[in-house]
Amino acid sequence: MRSLLIGLMLVGSMLVAAACAAPMAVTRIAVDAPESSVISPKRQAELTMMVKHDCGSCHGLTLKGGLGKPLLRERMAALPTETLSALILGGVPGTAMPPWLGIVTPEEARWIAAGLRQGAFE
Ligand code: HEC
């Protein structure tokens, strides 16, 4: 009887631990890029939020397009990472696409570019 009670308590605390760990797993995006090892997991979670909300405000919350063209993997993979990160840092003059230099570092822009090419934010 006593061991059953201890067992129940153990299962209970494991469930609580799993529930606490779950939101982390949702916000951690696996981008396969050299930058992933030097940008902190916390910053990667922030950048992911930024892509979904800020970039998404113009390119569509699911990146399927809006004011700006879609940023889906099939289009992004056709562009080299360096071209994409330069577009992100410098913006597109004459359009609503703002320059992100100062908000993200060149390294972070390459990480976002790599993630877009892999469809990591979709
Ligand atoms: C204020 C609106 C706005 C925001 C915010 C915005 N963009 Fe744009 N973006 C545009 C417009 C407009 C263009 C030019 C038209 C086009 O090519 O879609 C563009 C172009 C681009 C292009 C070139 C697309 C192509 O196929 O040539 C990329 C890549 C891009 N944006 C990525 C991003 C990323 C990443 C973010 C967030 C860090 C972002 N944009 C935020 C409006 C925006």
The secondary structure of 84-108 as a DSSP string is HHHHHHH--TTSS----BTTB-HHH
- The reported pTM is 0.81
Mean pLDDT throughout 93-122? 97
> What does the alpha-carbon distance between residue 1 and residue 48 come to, in Å, rounded to a whole number?
48
Given a contact cutoff of 8 angstroms between Cβ atoms, the answer to whether 42 and 51 are in contact is no
pLDDT, tens only, 76-90: 999 999 999 999 999
- Residue 79 in contact with ligand 1 by CB distance below 6 A: no
Mean pLDDT throughout 7-17? 51
Is the model more confident about 122 or about 1? Answer: 122
Q: Which CATH number fits domain 29-118: 3.40.50.720, 3.30.60.50, 3.30.465.10, 1.10.760.10?
A: 1.10.760.10
Distance (angstroms) between ligand 1 centre and the Cα of 17 equals 39
Q: Where are the domains of the chain?
A: 29-118
- What phi, psi does 101 have (nearest 5°)? -60, 130
Lowest mean pLDDT among 11-25, 40-54, 84-98: 11-25
- Residue 59 in contact with ligand 1 by CB distance below 6 A: yes
- Residue 95 in contact with ligand 1 by CB distance below 6 A: yes
